[in-house]
C-alpha cells in the first residue's frame, strides 16, 4: 500500500526543529525526487503586519512574486547586528524587538528560497533558477550557523521569564531540542551522512528496468504492480525485485555506513546510540521511544486482526485463494477508483467542495486559486512528484504536483490542500516562525483528516465510483498503519544494534512481517523473499524515524472521521481549532485539547478498530 501513497513523505510543512535553522531535504518517497525545502525559520514567520504587493483585496499571483537572490554578506552583517542587539539588550522589550526583526529578515530570505525552488521544480530546464538553487544550497550551512547563534542567544537570555511570557514556554523547549541536534565536532560526520543519503537517492532515482522490450524508469512500473492480470503483476514484481537484487551489496553497504555514521554522531552527542539524536532531529517535544513502542504494541494487538480481515475481503473480492505480495495493491478486481473528468473538472470540483465545506475553506481556496498558487499539471521539464511549500512574505501556501489520472490527483485537493489550509490559517495568526506548525504527526493530522472531512464531496470527483473510492480509501488507510509501524520498529532495532550484519537485518525484517503483516507472502521473488524489501523504503535510508508520524496521524484522521459521522459541524469546529493553534502547542496538547485520544493512549486503537470495522460492515460495495 505504501507504493500507492505518493504524498506520504512528499513535501509538506515539515517542521524540523529550530528557531533559526534551516534544512533542505529531498522528498522521502521514491516516487518523489524534487527538492523540498524544509525550512522553518527561513520560511514561516508572520509577526509583522507589513503589506506586500497589490492593492487591498487583490491577491498577488505566484508569477508576480519577485525573486531576489539573498546576499550572503549582507545577511551575515544584518544578522550579526541583530545578534548583538539581542545579546546587549537592556530590557526584555529591546530583546523581543531585535528577535522580531530577525524573524522579518528570515521571512524575506525564506520566501526567496521557496520561490527559487518552486520555479526550479516547475521547469528544471530553466537555467536561471537552476543556478539560484545551487547557490542557495551552497549558502545554506552558513545561514544555519547564524540561526543557531540566535537560538543560543535566546536560550541564554536573562529576560527569559519575560520572553516566555510573551512567546510561551514551548519556544524554549523547541530551541533546546534544536541546539541538541548538532555541534561542530560532528560536522564532518553530518557531511558524510549527506553524501551517503545522496548516493542512495541517486542510485534509486537512476533506476531503469526492462519491461516488455522497453527501458523504463522504475516508478513507471507502478501501474503494472497493480494490473488486474495476476501474471502481469507478478512479472512486474519480479522485475522490480531483480533491480534491487542486482544492487544488493551496494545497498547493504550504504545502509551499514549510514547506521554506523549516525551511531557515531549519537555517541559524540553523549548518547548510547543514535535514537535520542534521531528523535531530536525530528523536533519531537512530547513523546519518546516508550510511547512510540506502546503505540506499535497496540497496533500489533488491536489493529493487525482488523487489517487481516480487510485483506481476507480483498482476496475474495479479487478472486484469489491466498494473497501473494503481488496481489497486495490490487484492492478491486477491475482496478482502483479513478477520478472522472479532466484535470480542469477536478480543480473545479475542488473549488466547489471548499466553498461548500465552510466559510474558512472558501476564503482559503479562493486565495489559492486567485493567486495561482497551484501547479498541478504534468509538463515537459517539470520535476516529478508533489509537495506543498509557502511564500511567507505573502502568507501564501503553494502546491506542486503532477496529475496522472489516478486518485492521487484528488489527494492534491484533499491531502496537500490540508497542509496548505493549515499554513494559510497559521500565517494569519501572527505566530513566531518556530511555532507556526506542530511536529510532523501534527502536520499530517491536518492533511490526513482533511481527506476524510471532505468525504461528503468526494462524489464530485468520483461520480459513480465514489463508493468504491471510499472503501479503497478506508482500507488503504488501515493497511498502511501496520506497515508504517514495521518500518519504525525495524529502525529502532537497527540503531539499537548497529553491529547487525546485512543477513541479520533482513532476518529482522522477515520477523517483523510475521508480527505486523502475517498475510504477506513473498513467494520466491528476488530481493523480497530474503527479507530485503526494506531497501525500497527511502525513509529508512534518508529520514530515520520519520514514518511513524504518518501512522499516528492516520489514527487522528480516523478519529476526526468517526467524529464527523456523528456530528459533522462539531467535528469541523474541533479540526479548525486544532489547525488554528499551529505549533504553539505540543501534539499531546493539541490532541487532548480537541477532546481526542492520543494514539499511544491505552485503548485508543481498539476503539478506532472496532468503529471502522463497523463502518466496513455497514458499507458494502
For Zn ion, the binding residues (CB under 5 A) are: 12, 447
In the bound state with Zn ion, the residue whose beta carbon lies nearer, of 70 and 582, is 582
DSSP state at residue 397: E
Task: List the grid coordinates of 6.
Answer: 505518493
Q: 312-321: long-range contacts at Cβ-Cβ below 8 A with a sequence spacing of 24 or more? A: 312/519, 313/616, 314/475, 317/621, 320/230
Residues contacting residue 398 through CB under 8 Å, at least 6 positions apart = 62, 114, 118, 373, 374, 375, 388, 389, 390, 391, 420
In three-state form (DSSP H/G/I as H, E/B as E, the rest C), the secondary structure along 447-478 is: HHHHHHHCHHHCHHHHHHHHHHHHHHHHHHHH
Q: What are phi and psi of 556, to 5 degrees?
A: -70, -40
In the bound state with Zn ion, the residue whose beta carbon lies nearer, of 157 and 447, is 447
In the bound state with Zn ion, the residue whose beta carbon lies nearer, of 12 and 590, is 12
In the bound state with Zn ion, the residue whose beta carbon lies nearer, of 12 and 65, is 12
In the bound state with Zn ion, the residue whose beta carbon lies nearer, of 167 and 423, is 423
CA nearest 115: which of 432, 369, 392, 412? 392
Q: What is d(CA 230, CA 209) in angstroms, rounded to the nearest whole number? A: 20
In the bound state with Zn ion, the residue whose beta carbon lies nearer, of 29 and 314, is 29
| Helix (H) or strand (E) run with residue 153 in it | helix 127-155
At 146 the three-state DSSP class reads: helix
CB 536 to Zn ion: min, Å: 20
In the bound state with Zn ion, the residue whose beta carbon lies nearer, of 349 and 450, is 450
In the bound state with Zn ion, the residue whose beta carbon lies nearer, of 266 and 484, is 484
Q: What is d(CA 614, CA 327) in angstroms, rounded to the nearest whole number? A: 25
CB 149 to Zn ion: min, Å: 32
- Whether the CB-CB separation of 12 and 27 falls below 8 Å is answered with no
CB 10 to Zn ion: min, Å: 7
CB 431 to Zn ion: min, Å: 20
CB 550 to Zn ion: min, Å: 8
Q: What distances in angstroms separate CA 83 from CA 73, 158, 181, one per listed residue?
A: 15, 15, 21
| Helix (H) or strand (E) run with residue 498 in it | none
CB 8 to Zn ion: min, Å: 7
Amino acid at each position: 500500500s505504501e507504493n500507492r501513497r505518493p504524498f506520504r513523505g512528499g513535501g509538506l510543512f515539515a517542521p524540523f526543529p529550530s528557531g533559526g535553522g534551516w534544512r533542505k531535504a529531498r522528498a522521502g518517497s521514491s516516487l518523489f525526487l524534487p527538492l523540498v525545502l524544509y525550512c522553518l525559520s527561513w520560511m514561516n514567520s508572520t509577526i509583522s503586519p507589513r503589506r506586500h504587493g497589490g492593492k487591498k483585496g487583490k491577491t498577488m499571483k505566484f508569477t508576480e512574486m519577485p525573486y531576489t537572490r539573498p546576499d550572503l554578506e549582507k545577511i551575515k552583517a544584518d544578522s550579526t547586528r541583530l545578534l548583538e542587539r539581542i545579546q546587549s539588550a537592556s530590557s526584555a522589550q529591546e530583546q523581543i524587538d531585535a528577535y522580531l526583526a530577525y524573524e522579518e529578515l528570515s521571512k524575506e530570505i525564506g520566501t526567496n528560497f521557496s520561490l527559487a525552488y518552486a520555479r526550479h521544480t516547475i521547469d528544471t530546464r530553466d537555467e536561471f533558477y537552476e543556478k539560484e538553487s545551487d547557490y542557495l544550497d551552497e549558502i545554506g550551512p552558513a545561514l544555519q550557523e547564524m540561526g543557531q547563534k540566535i537560538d543560543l542567544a535566546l536560550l541564554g537570555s536573562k529576560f527569559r521569564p519575560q520572553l516566555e511570557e510573551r512567546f510561551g514556554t514551548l519556544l524554549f523547549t523547541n530551541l533546546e531540542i534544536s541546539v541538541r541536534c548538532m555541534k561542530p565536532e560532528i560536522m564532518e560526520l553530518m557531511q558524510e551522512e549527506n553524501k551517503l543519503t545522496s548516493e542512495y537517492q541517486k542510485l534509486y532515482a537512476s533506476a531503469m528496468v526492462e519491461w516488455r522490450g522497453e527501458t523504463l524508469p522504475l516508478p513507471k512500473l507502478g501501474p503494472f504492480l497493480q494490473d488486474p492480470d495476476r501474471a502481469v503483476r507478478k512479472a512486474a514484481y519480479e522485475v522490480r525485485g531483480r533491480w534491487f537484487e542486482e544492487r544488493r551489496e551496494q545497498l547493504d553497504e550504504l545502509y551499514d555506513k549510514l547506521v554506523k555514521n549516525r551511531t557515531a554522531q549519537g555517541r559524540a552527542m553523549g548518547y548510547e546510540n543514535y535514537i535520542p539524536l534521531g528523535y531530536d532531529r525530528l523536533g519531537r517535544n512530547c513523546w519518546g521511544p516508550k510511547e512510540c513502542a506502546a503505540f506499535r504494541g497496540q497496533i500489533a494487538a488491536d489493529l493487525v486482526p482488523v487489517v487481516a480481515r480487510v485483506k481476507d475481503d480483498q482476496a475474495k473480492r479479487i478472486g484469489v485463494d491466498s494473497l501473494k505480495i503481488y496481489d497486495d495493491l490490487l484492492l478491486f478486481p477491475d482496478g482502483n477508483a479513478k477520478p472522472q473528468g479532466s484535470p480542469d473538472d477536478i480543480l473545479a470540483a475542488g473549488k466547489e467542495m471548499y466553498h461548500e465545506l465552510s466559510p474558512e475553506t472558501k476564503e482559503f481556496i479562493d486565495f489559492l486559486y486567485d493567486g495561482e498558487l497551484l501547479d498541478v499539471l504534468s509538463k515537459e521539464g517539470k520535476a516529478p512528484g508533489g509537495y506543498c511549500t509557502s511564500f511567507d512574505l505573502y502568507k501564501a501556501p503553494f502546491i506542486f504536483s503532477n496529475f496522472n489520472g489516478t486518485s492521487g490527483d484528488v489527494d492534491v485537493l484533499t491531502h496537500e490542500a490540508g497542509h496548505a489550509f493549515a499554513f494559510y490559517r497559521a500565517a494569519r495568526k501572527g505566530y513566531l516562525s518556530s511555532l507556526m506548525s506542530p511536529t510532523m504527526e501534527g502536520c499530517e493530522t491536518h492533511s490526513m483528516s482533511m481527506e476524510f472531512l471532505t468525504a461528503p464531496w468526494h462524489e464530485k470527483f468520483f461520480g459513480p465510483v465514489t463508493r468504491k473510492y471510499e472503501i479503497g480509501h478506508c482500507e488503504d488507510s488501515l493497511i498502511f498503519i501496520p506497515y508504517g509501524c514495521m518500518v519504525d520498529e525495524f529502525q529502532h532495532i537497527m540503531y539499537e544494534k548497529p553491529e547487525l550484519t546485512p543477513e541479520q537485518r533482513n532476518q529482522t525484517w522477515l520477523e517483523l512481517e510475521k508480527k505486523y503483516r502475517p498475510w504477506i507472502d513473498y513467494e520466491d521473488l528476488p530481493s523480497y523473499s530474503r527479507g530485503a524489501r526494506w531497501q525500497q523504503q527511502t525513509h529508512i535510508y534518508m529520514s530515520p524515524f520519520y514514518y511513524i508520524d504518518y501512522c499516528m496521524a492516520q489514527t487522528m484522521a480516523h478519529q476526526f472521521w468517526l467524529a464527523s459521522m456523528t456530528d459533522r459541524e462539531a467535528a469541523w469546529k474541533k479540526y479548525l481549532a486544532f489547525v488554528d493553534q499551529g505549533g504553539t502547542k505540543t501534539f499531546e496538547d493539541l490532541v487532548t485539547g480537541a477532546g481526542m485520544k492520543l494514539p499511544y493512549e491505552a485503548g485508543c486503537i481498539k476503539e478506532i478498530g472496532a468503529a471502522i470495522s463497523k463502518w466496513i460492515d455497514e458499507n458494502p460495495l
